[in-house]
Amino acid sequence: MYHDRALAGITRTHGAPKTAPQHFVPASAPALDCAIIVPTYNEAGNVGLLAKALEAALEGWAYEIIFVDDWSLDGTPDVVAAMAQADPRIRLIRRFGRRGLSSAVLEGMLASVAPILAVIDADMQHDEKLLPALLDAIRGGGADVAIGSRYCAEGSVGNWGGTREAGSRWATQLAQLALKAPLTDPMSGFFAVRRDVMLSALPRMSNMGFKVLLDMVASLPAAPRVAELPYTFRNRHAGESKLDSTVVIDFLMLLIDKKLGGRVPPRMIMFGAIGVLGLGVHLSVLTLAMALGASFIVAQTGAVLSAIAFNFILNNSLTYHDKRLRGPAMLRGLAIFYAVCGLGALANVGAGSVVFAHDHKAWLAGIAGAVVGSVWNFLISSLTVWKKK
């Protein structure tokens, strides 16, 4: 029998056997106290230093370090593989054709049977000397989640620029919207969690973007007992940051997903919001073209074509930034998007006509047509234009 109810639930959903073999007799003491999950993308210059620092910090703990690498091309997997050959406590998971910090961390966690799971960045920005205190907070039974915080007590973001610090504080405030209990640093990438607690959050996690702690805590069935311990964020040791402007989009989509309880895909909300902006573009082009003396047919055609192109460009760089089309693929995508939206307009008129025939309310028929057309555009374009990955 599985003793872990959350795991048993997940296993059943995916059709695995309901009972485990009975003949295995577990050793009295667990072989592992904890697993340290390290997501990596092009961190060849950091992983060796981190492994050494973790070895020193975790003296006395039975641990494993799981590096989860998304096919780095700078040699990171080779460095980790060499370390894993020399030290059986080090493991490597490689993922091909995929990127994503949150999903990498989760897959690393799921690959371990250790009762406590911790996460630390590869670039030495997190103070590994805090790890024993984080792990102890959980092992002692006082906390379900223990977080290294830059914003509590004497914690600090180190020498960040003003803009990044302001952005992080703003996001931290906004993140509270999705949480049942406030956290001083919900955006922290440095934390430890009891394995069964993580598993109980898993079915409701959005699993997207950079913010795995926020996603996990917001997905727990009940507010967890949290320990927040201060540390000072250090400068990246080697390599480049993977943070770019798209993390803001991912963050907003994560918040939307949490606030709506996962009922409406956040991409659909984003697609709809861009559609509303597109309406503004449509009306502006129409007005301008008519003011310049164009006939209605010409002005309206120009407005439709511009609004569709506007929607395509914004959706390509925001809603689907993780599947962004570039170069010739982008032109091909735009052509398909025009075709999808053309059919969407037919669906719009068809649905509107049905409602109008039934109700004779033009505004209701107009809204019904627009909703059907927009949902069509979203669903079909996600299956045709931005389908890969």
For the segment 232-271, give every residue that binds ligand GTP (CB under 6 A): 236, 241-243
Which listed residue (53, 84, 104, 213) binds ligand GTP by CB under 6 A?
A: 104
Residues 62-121 that bind Mg ion (CB under 5 A): 121
Residue 100 partner contact from ligand GTP, Mg ion, none using kind-dependent CB cut-offs of 5 to 8 Å:
ligand GTP
Which amino acid is located at 34 in the chain? C
Interior/surface letters 100-128, b for 16+ CB within 10 angstroms, e for the rest: bbbbbbbbbbbebebebbbbbbbbbbbbb
When asked if residue 323 is in the footprint of ligand GTP (CB under 6 A), the reply is no
The Cα angle at residue 370 between residues 351 and 348, in degrees rounded to 5 = 40
Neighbour count for residue 79 (Cβ, 10 Å): 22
Q: Which does 127 bind (CB under 5 to 8 A by kind): Mg ion, ligand GTP, none?
A: none
Q: Is 128 a residue that touches ligand GTP (CB under 6 A)?
A: no
- C-beta of 2 vs 160, nearer to ligand GTP: 160
127 contributes a contact to Mg ion by CB under 5 A? no
> Shortest distance, CB of residue 125 to ligand GTP, whole angstroms?
5
Query: Which one of ligand GTP, Mg ion, none interacts with residue 104, CB within 5 to 8 A by kind?
Result: ligand GTP
Q: 116-119 and 226-230: which strand pairing?
A: unpaired
List residues bridging with 119 in a β-sheet: 37, 191
Binding mask 29-68 for ligand GTP (x = CB under 6 A): ----------xxx-x------------------------x
Which parts of the chain fold into alpha helices (H)?
5-13, 47-57, 76-86, 101-110, 131-139, 162-175, 195-201, 212-219, 246-259, 266-291, 296-314, 327-359, 362-384
**DSSP assignment, residue 140?**
T
Contact between 13 and ligand GTP by CB under 6 A: the answer reads: no
Task: Using CB under 6 A, list all residues that contact ligand GTP.
Answer: 39-41, 43, 68-70, 99-101, 104, 121-123, 125, 189, 236, 241-243
